[in-house]
């Protein structure tokens, strides 16, 4: 039976890899594989740390857009209600769904 615990098996695999890629390319392949593994470990630990797989992004935006006034500032109604600032929360669920919640901030 073919098993990976025997040293001869590993030697045969290494010789085949050496023949396919060549000796000059192996350090580059090892380096890029190491970087990929490190990035994968960082993303899995940072992405799942503390919140059990649910990511919450909170952004605060204003509902107004800057415009140049066409009337003098003295003619503007002083009693008008200010446009509320809205907080937008994006909740990412473990099953891939995203839930967007918008709520006014007073």
pLDDT tens digits, residue range 30-75?
A: 899 899 999 998 888 887 554 444 555 555 555 555 555 555 555 5
Distances (CA, A) of 42 to 11, 35, 37, 51, 55: 32, 10, 9, 16, 16
* Measured distance CA(85)–CA(106) in Å, rounded: 7
b (16+ CB within 10 A) / e for 71-84: eeeeeeeeeeeeee
* Measured distance CA(61)–CA(10) in Å, rounded: 58
Confidence of residue 5 (pLDDT cuts 50, 70, 90): confident
Q: What's the predicted TM-score (pTM) here?
A: 0.33
């Amino acid at each position: 039976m073919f098993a990976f615990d025997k040293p001869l098996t590993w030697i045969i695999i290494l010789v085949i890899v050496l023949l396919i890629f060549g000796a000059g390319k192996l350090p580059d392949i090892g380096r890029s594989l190491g970087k990929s593994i490190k990035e994968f470990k960082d993303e899995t630990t940072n992405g799942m740390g503390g919140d059990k797989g649910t990511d919450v992004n909170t952004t605060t935006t204003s509902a107004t857009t800057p415009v140049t006034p066409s009337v003098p500032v003295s003619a503007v109604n002083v009693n008008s209600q200010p446009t509320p600032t809205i907080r937008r929360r994006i909740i990412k669920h473990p099953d891939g769904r995203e839930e967007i919640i918008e709520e006014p901030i007073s």
